[in-house]
Amino acid sequence: MAQPQHSFLDWIGEHLFNCPFKAHFGFDCPGCGLQRSVLALFRGDLIASFKFYPATIPLIFVVVFTIVHLKVDFKFGAQLIKIVFAGVAVIILINYIYKIYTHQLI
Amino acid sequence: MSEEQETPQENKPIDLSKDKNPEPAPFQPLGNGPVTPPPFQQPPPFGQFGGGGFGQQNLPNSTASLVLGILAIPACCFYGIFGLIFGVIAWVLGAGDMKKYQLNPSLYTESSYKNAKAGKICGMIATILSALMVVMFILIIVGVVANPNMFENFLRDLR
């Protein structure tokens, strides 16, 4: 009787959604790494999460902050959401270009 | 001349019929108050916010626009198509609400206007990003269909 040594996060890690783009063409799309990064964040590993996908932490911050903002209605809320969201977009673009130049796409 | 005095009596049942339509939101009777005097629309919006803004409604689509605009980036994984759809919807909803606010600023709250503006800008950013992805994918697909050998060289260069 083998005892279940894998945690729930390990089970999820083996059953992530496949990127349809990577399945067809064999290299990463600009969104690849997001699920692994969120999983690493659940494990508490901030550095691994950043290495998988640098935009995850600000993205989750924006989502959580938007929920709080819609409830509480901060004065600076909309402005902050705009700035962080633009930052997320820039991080995604830079991350993808960096991956192309450093040959990490495959 | 006596006929002119009768005409307001004819309008009375119309007014009653308007009052008989109860709308679900309790703020409606307060919100309808500023509609009737048109001179309140003329002063700039900043003066009115100082004077207390009770009776103002939230813009109808500001929350939806903001949420869709933010969800557009995580949704762009599937060839960027869902990101494009969400971003365009957020953009259109936000822009529509901004126009609605600028027509009569006294009706709506300023915070919902800011939310609609943020939703519009987030939708624009997500649309641009998703459109870049879609263009890249289309170029790659066209390249694969047109010349498979070229794509193999391209993959080799990426390694």
Q: What is the pLDDT of residues B30-82, one digit of tens each?
A: 444 444 444 444 444 444 444 445 677 888 888 899 999 988 888 877 777 88
Q: Kindly state whether residue A24 falls inside one of the protein's structural domains.
A: no
Q: Which helix (H) or strand (E) holds A96?
A: helix A77-101
Please answer yes or no on whether B70 and A70 come within 8 Å at the CB atom.
Answer: no
Using a CB-CB distance cutoff of 8 angstroms, which residues of chain A are in contact with residue B67?
66, 70
Which has more pLDDT, B7 or B118? B118
Please answer yes or no on whether B144 and A25 come within 8 Å at the CB atom.
Answer: yes
B11 falls in which pLDDT band (50, 70, 90)?
Answer: very low
Give the nearest chain B residue to A86 (CA atoms). B125
Which residues are CB-contacts of B108 (< 8 A; sequence separation ≥ 6)? B56, B57, B58, B59, B100, B101
Q: Kindly state whether residue A19 falls inside one of the protein's structural domains.
A: no
The DSSP secondary-structure symbol of A18 reads: P
> Closest Cα partner for B70 from A84, A91, A79?
A84
> Closest Cα partner for A73 from B110, B104, B121, B67?
B110
pLDDT at position B21 over 60: no
The DSSP secondary-structure symbol of B108 reads: B
- How far, in Å, CA of A99 to CA of B39, rounded? 59
pLDDT at position B140 over 70: yes
Domain count, chain A: 1
Question: Chain B, 110-139: which have a CB under 8 Å from a chain A CB?
Answer: 111, 114-115, 117-118, 121-122, 125-126, 128-129, 132-133, 137
Looking at the complex, report in whole angstroms how far the Cα of residue A78 sits from the nearest Cα belonging to chain B: 6
- Cα–Cα distances (Å) from B64 to A53, A67, A88, B24, B67, in that order, read 27, 12, 20, 20, 5
A5 falls in which pLDDT band (50, 70, 90)?
Answer: low
Q: Kindly state whether residue A49 falls inside one of the protein's structural domains.
A: yes
- Cα–Cα distances (Å) from B54 to A44, A60, B30, B48, B110, in that order, read 45, 34, 8, 11, 12
Please answer yes or no on whether A106 and B137 come within 8 Å at the CB atom.
Answer: no
Q: pLDDT value at position B38? A: 47
Picking from B71, B77, B124 by the largest number of A CB atoms within 10 A of its own CB, the best residue to mutate is B77
Kindly state the average pLDDT of the residues B9-29. Answer: 48
Which has more pLDDT, B36 or B84? B84
Using a CB-CB distance cutoff of 8 angstroms, which residues of chain A are in contact with residue B73?
59, 85, 88-89, 92
For all residues of chain B together, what is the average pLDDT?
A: 73
Report residue A32: phi and psi, to 5°.
Answer: -70, 135
- Would you say A19 and A29 are in contact if contact means Cβ atoms under 8 Å apart? yes
Q: CB-CB: which of A20, A59, A81 is closest to B74?
A: A59
Q: pLDDT value at position A4? A: 56
Which has more pLDDT, A61 or B10? A61
Measured N-to-C along each axis, helices B62-71 and B110-146 cross at an angle, to the nearest 10 degrees, of 30
- How far, in Å, CA of A20 to CA of A1, rounded? 37
Per-residue tokens: B40:
């309140």
Interior CA angle at A38 toward A33 and A43, to 5°? 125
Q: Kindly state whether residue A62 falls inside one of the protein's structural domains.
A: yes
Q: Kindly state whether residue A96 falls inside one of the protein's structural domains.
A: yes
Which residues are CB-contacts of B133 (< 8 A; sequence separation ≥ 6)? A29, A30, B76, B79, B80, B83
Instruction: Give the tens place of pLDDT for each residue, A77-95.
Output: 889 999 999 999 999 999 9
Q: Kindly state whether residue A106 falls inside one of the protein's structural domains.
A: no
User: Is any Cβ of chain B less than 8 angstroms from the Cβ of A62?
Assistant: yes
Which has more pLDDT, B29 or A10? A10
Residue ranges covered by each domain of chain B: 60-159
Give the structural domain span for A52: 30-101
